[in-house]
A and B are shown apart, each in its own frame.
Chain A
């Protein structure tokens, strides 16, 4: 059966039309089968089309989709009206999602590079058998592991499905006793995560997408939602249409499509957002406009290490400043107010360039308790040399005004990737984490994990010390200090900053990429596979079963709909086969190591899973779910009680319920045999209406101000931490007079490795352009369409200039998206990171721009 692309598109259109005509898809639940192949009998229509439930492969919105397949091939993907996050809406990426699987150059056979001299070229890889490729990867991993396990690493992703992330973390942390595992979410969400942990001692947003429907004022901070969160921006816009009094303030460094539709734009000098946020907090206190009851009942005040410098040097983390960045001390409210006092509106105007009157207007918006206010933010806040601090400053305003964890009144950190929350954060694929928010550094957390993983007590003490975070991983790799790297669900050779260094295109002593053994699991050839020693062809999206967890704590399963092409395999199978080889002959507590860790799902003698993909996912989920349902494990329950871990505060439901319900937001509470999701965390109210009734009853205190209780926080009080304005790591100079900011645009997902293979999306945005201010162009003699060279102290790239106005930076700033590997903007982007979260600042590299 050979369908040409044109015919395929035609088929999609017809199927879509029929789907639209068919109305809702409520009866679709569970239409995948035990064997992993679609249940043709259950839901195939007369034409032989099989429908399955899925969730979009791309951004953090987590839109539900209905997938239709026929004769082993996807014929359409349409919005799923039953999905509570998206209710059937999609963007153009989701509309063409099926086509992302059918690029001409899918990887279908394992590939091996025999000659390292060919690294960085598009040649040098030869086809191999799975056995040869797996033997080679496992041998190199085992060799490195035995010689010096500080020199091995895994780089994962917020796009890695949940149970795979869980299994990978388990293999790395319990199997290899290594913390050198980190996800690309470090580039994306880490500042939000450290903010959550510092403030709430739990890594989660209290609110949900329904807050958008309930609020009266939106404040977007460093977030181009119109392009990066298309579905949610549609929801925001619908709220504005429904009530003409609803307002949207956009706090940004450049004019984006989000600014274009906002009611008011506060355009600030890069890095000065902290001064603005502090000025708002100060104004609220000075003018007695804060919520005394909420503050008295719920908030503790702190200050932390200051003058912390910047992470330019590889040795920053170990420096005096670097070692103390996490330290905080309690202060009184009066001391907190005194620290804020210098942040007058005038001072904030001086630092930020935003008129004092505009800052005052926004402060008054927060002060007006007759209206609800919802803050939303993403990478402008997180990819920031003080990203964690800026997260703190936003919460500070919401705490002072009693606007947190209430419907429509909240501070909501938007996520970038489909499973940044579900996988990277929830199952513990960070270098310092264990599953379910647990930390390697805390002994009770290690004991708890040992109990669930059946490890001898004390076994995980070997991983007490966190491993390498992402930038450190690549910095060490470039210096030749990493001998084995395995990456999956990411394209680091395009998405990492400072690629001139990391791809060995700069200093002669930073050529480690050519020596390190690199294994890349991928679906298409990418720039990363050009540096791989072994490429493992992976099953993509609905070619296997998986689950994602989106930005509102919603876990959703995507069922297997079709088989992968050629010899491509499920990532989990690759993990099992490599783990099996590496752990051969190893024991843990006298038991076979592999069988102890993965024997429940994989028969290593037979080389196959014990059961269907559905059963394997269910078994792993049920094991992972034990972390948040300690009563399922007697030993864990005892530790949970003795150490007051409150693990069931993040309760998850049995696996199949997520399919039946088209996704559920955690905590999912068991009430009389029913599993009820939670929309508004820490907010008292009927559980059946989405409030956190059971959590507040069990651990919190009822009848406190605003009817909320932050029972996961120390002393049930989140922390308002004073964070001062400190300038960007680097500021424009005569040599590098421009700020350079990078980001995403609507048509392409991340590095474009999937969306650029969709002809319709490639046509829609074929190349990356450098958006510049027309006044700068005139000064530099540049016209729209001219080629320019952009150079920083890190590296340079060439790009076409645009003044068309999609994104309009102020004078002295330029913007470009990072999806295009032929442009590779990250050659010039700094790898300086927030000292607390270790998340790089992709928004403020200083560059020179010249006409070519």
Chain B
């Protein structure tokens, strides 16, 4: 079963092709499942067994494609396709047999990365009432809050600017998955946690 699940995930990865290129090209490496050790520690421990992939009820975790080089077949998340849902019991980490993933006690402990708003692309920064990322955030008002600002040259409307709080953001990427901006890409992305 485990192998089959992993194989299926690899197939799914292959099908996604181009979109995953984004993941492989992410500066600093791949977005790991919650509870991952530091890049070095993770690389040392992960045996690419695929159990976390199989355990994820949301099919958010995939095996990195061959193009990821040394990271090929290690588990990663492409949030635009399916973000980490920050399950209360972290089944991915629980399934890890080697301790490459260590189950966080709560979503507030998770540090997969930090969301970064692209203010040029963001509709909210352009004074449209959007803030989809803010309302989608599982840590609403903690990881993302709204900075209310006067709209330039407009006395009667405000800008509702989403602001990410690095110290609270889990990096789950749900904001990235939900962002309605799509061309050339979403207006929010996850920068990896530094080693």
Contacts and interface: CB of A to CB of B under 8 A. Distances in A.
Interface of A: 6, 9-10, 13, 87-92, 94-96, 212-213, 230-231, 233-235, 237-242, 257, 260-261, 745-747, 759-761, 763-765, 783-785, 804-806
A745 B132 CA distance: 11
B148 A95 contact: no
B130 A237 contact: no
Given A238-B150, A763-B178, A804-B138, A89 B127 contact: yes
Given A746-B132, A785-B87, 10 more contacts: A92-B132, A231-B157, A233-B129, A234-B127, A234-B157, A237-B148, A237-B158, A238-B150, A764-B179, A804-B140
Q: Which 4 A-B pairs have the closest CB atoms?
A: A230-B129, A91-B129, A760-B180, A237-B158
A231 B146 CA distance: 16
A6 B183 contact: yes
B130 A95 contact: yes
Nearest to A8: B183
A235 B135 contact: no
B127 A9 contact: no
A95 B123 contact: yes
Interface string B147-181: 01111001111101000000000000000011111
Nearest to A806: B135
A659 to B, nearest CB: 24
Contacts of A242: 150, 155
B7 interface: no
A804 B136 CA distance: 8
Contacts of A6: 183
A9 B121 CA distance: 14
Contact of A238 (B123, B138, B158, B178): B158
A87 B158 CA distance: 12
A759 B85 CA distance: 21
A391 to B, nearest CB: 27
The dominant DSSP class at the A interface is helix
Contacts of A88: 154
Among B128, B177, B181, the one with the most A-chain Cβ atoms within 10 Å of its Cβ is B128
B88 interface: yes
A91 B130 contact: yes
Contact of A95 (B128, B135, B141, B182): B128
A685 to B, nearest CB: 20
Contacts of B123: 92, 95
Contacts of A95: 123, 128, 130
Contacts of A91: 128-130
Contact of B180 (A92, A212, A213): A92
Nearest to A805: B140
A6 B184 CA distance: 10
A728 B95 CA distance: 49
Contacts, number: 113
Contacts of A233: 129
A706 to B, nearest CB: 25
Contacts of A783: 87-89
Interface string B64-90: 000000000000000000000101110
A238 B148 CA distance: 8
A240 B156 CA distance: 10
Nearest to A747: B132
Contacts of B179: 763-764
A609 to B, nearest CB: 37
A13 B123 CA distance: 12
A181 to B, nearest CB: 34
B178 A241 contact: no
B22 to A, nearest CB: 16
Nearest to B80: A763
A234 B129 contact: yes
A805 B157 contact: no
Contact of A241 (B132, B146, B149): B149
Nearest to B135: A806
B178 A92 contact: no
Contacts of B148: 237, 240-241, 261
26 contacts: A9-B183, A87-B156, A89-B129, A89-B154, A91-B130, A95-B128, A212-B156, A213-B155, A213-B156, A230-B129, A234-B158, A235-B157, A238-B154, A238-B157, A238-B158, A241-B150, A241-B158, A747-B180, A759-B182, A760-B180, A763-B182, A764-B136, A764-B178, A784-B85, A805-B138, A806-B135
B178 A87 contact: no
B87 A257 contact: no
B78 to A, nearest CB: 14
Nearest to A213: B156
A554 to B, nearest CB: 15
Which of B88, B123, B135, B150 has its CB near the most chain A CB atoms (within 10 A)? Answer: B135
Q: Which of B89, B132, B157, B160 gathers the greatest number of chain A CB atoms within 10 Å?
A: B157
A482 B52 CA distance: 57
A745 B178 CA distance: 14
B182 A9 contact: yes
Contacts of B85: 784-785
A763 B180 contact: yes
Nearest to B177: A763
A733 to B, nearest CB: 30
A9 B132 CA distance: 19
Contact of B141 (A241, A260, A747): A260
B143 to A, nearest CB: 11
A804 B87 CA distance: 11
Given A234-B157, A238-B157, A764 B128 contact: no
Interface in B95-125: 123
B160 A234 contact: yes
Nearest to A90: B128
A567 B143 CA distance: 50
A28 B41 CA distance: 63
Given A237-B160, A764-B179, A257 B154 contact: no
B154 A761 contact: no
A806 B88 contact: no
A804 B177 CA distance: 16
B110 to A, nearest CB: 14
A238 B151 contact: yes
A10 B182 CA distance: 9
Contact of B129 (A87, A96, A746, A760): A746
Contact of A764 (B129, B141, B180): B180
Nearest to B183: A9
B162 to A, nearest CB: 12
Contacts of A765: 132, 136, 178
Given A89-B157, A237-B160, A784-B88, A761 B180 contact: yes
A747 B131 CA distance: 10
